Amino acid sequence: MATLLRKIGLIRLHNRDTEDPKHHHNHRGGGSGQQSASLRGKGGAKSGGHKPQQQHPAASAGDASPGPGKGKGKRAVELAPRDKPPQPAAGAAGAAGAGGPRERAPGARAGPGLAVAAAAAGGSLVPAARQQHCTQVRSRRLMKELQDIARLSDRFISVELVDESLFDWNVKLHQVDKDSVLWQDMKETNTEFILLNLTFPDNFPFSPPFMRVLSPRLENGYVLDGGAICMELLTPRGWSSAYTVEAVMRQFAASLVKGQGRICRKAGKSKKSFSRKEAEATFKSLVKTHEKYGWVTPPVSDG
């Protein structure tokens, strides 16, 4: 009996499958779908062992999202920044700010920072500041010199500023050795003083002044053409910043007597004035001669 019932059940199942094609199709489709899904799973597992398939990061993120709506929205958000122009990286901006080249609009002026940098590299601001400092040092020194000369008790020398310039002096030498022939000449010619001119360079007192005789016209006594004076201490090699104008004038007065200086009394020649141009040329020549032979009497052929 049980066997008969099983046969009847099988016959009914067979008839239902043959009479209902839709059910038959779904039944077979489900089976085939499951089978194809399993095959795809196996194929994916096999292919994953060899080489992974490249996918766009945004697409991968969208596919991995739990729902279709959320996946599309997230993908749209991630794709949106690609439409914007690329922005420079922070490191590149820092490098450009630290020293990279900068583009400046035509006609734009450099800021004060560039002027300060040019000055630190050796621009025109550094020499200007140095020049101002040298002028201050020279002015303070000469003001002190004037005060010291004004306080001299023996009235050895006196000073007059040329055109009220602190750097150009006319110095009057009132006294020389009273036992010398030069002093006798001064008495006989009613010469009250020997007038000299001193000009002080920009780097005084570290460089010597240029000194020359203006009047009267002297002979010998180490006074040369144009009124130039042959004294080693008036050269850059022989000068010291410790020398004062008073000390230089006393040395000059002693050299006049030692060199047997005289006031020129020759007709015509005694009235001819010394010139600065001639004095400068003569002084340059004697400095070259003494640099060659030292401060001794040079050969006659060299003057």
Active site residue ranges: 230
What DSSP character marks residue 129?
H
User: How far apart, in Å, are the Cα atoms of 190 and each of 146, 158, 184, 186, 194?
Assistant: 27, 18, 10, 6, 11
Exposed, middle or buried, 186 (CB in 10 Å: 0-12/13-18/19+)?
buried
Q: How many residues does the chain have?
A: 303
The DSSP call for residue 234 is: G
Q: C-alpha dihedral over 201, 206, 212, 213, to 10 degrees?
A: 120
- How far out from the chain centre does Cα 272 lie? 52
- The phi and psi torsions of 154 (rounded to 5 degrees) equal -90, 0
Cα(226)–Cα(169) distance, integer angstroms: 18
Question: Is 208:241 a contact under the CB 8 Å cutoff?
Answer: no
- Residue owning tokens 């560039």: 114
183 near 156, Cβ under 8 Å?
no
Q: Which two tokens stand for residue 150?
A: 């004004």
R_g of the chain computed on alpha carbons: 55
Sequence-distant (≥ 6) Cβ neighbours of residue 26 within 8 angstroms: none
Position 194, amino acid: I
